[in-house]
Amino acid sequence: LGGRWDMTLGNILLLAHPDFRDLRISLVDGPQEVLLLSEGIPWEVRGQPGDTVSLIPLRGDAEGVTTRGLRYPLSEGRLRFGAARGVSNVLLENPAQVFIRKGLLVCIIIHQ
C-alpha cells in the first residue's frame, strides 16, 4: 500500500472520494486487501474461509451494519468510530456479505 505510512493512509483515504462511491476498488499489498464500503449498497467480501476481515468506520459511526458469512455476524449493528469492535473477524463463507445503512467502512482482508 505504499510502504510508507503517509502513502498508505493517503491511498486509503483516496478511496473515500465521492467519484468512487459506487465502485469496488481494491488496494492490494501482498496478502492484504483494502476496500471502502459505502452505505446503501450490498457489498461482497471475497476470500477463503479463515481469512481475517476487519470492518473499521471511517467517518463517524457506521449504523445498520448487517453481515453474513463472518464468524461474528452483525444484524443492524453499530460500529463506533474509534472503537475496535469490527476488527479481526473471520471469513466463514465466500463471499461474505456486508450492508451498511449509514456510514462508511474500511474493509481490510488478510488472505491466509
Q: What is the pLDDT of residues 30-68, one digit of tens each?
A: 999 999 999 999 999 999 999 999 999 999 999 999 999
Report d(CA 108, CA 15) in Å as an integer: 13
Contact 106, 43 (CB under 8 A): no
In the predicted model, what is the mean pLDDT of the chain?
Answer: 94
Is the alpha carbon torsion for 64, 86, 73, 33 positive or negative? Answer: positive
Which of helix, strand or coil describes residue 94? coil
- Expressed as residue numbers, the domain containing 14 is 5-110
pTM: 0.92
Q: Report the distance separating Cα 18 and Cα 29, nearest Å.
A: 24
What CATH number is given to the structural domain containing 92?
Answer: 3.40.50.10240
Split into its structural domains, the chain has a count of: 1
12-21, 54-63, 88-97, 102-111: which has the minimum mean pLDDT? 12-21
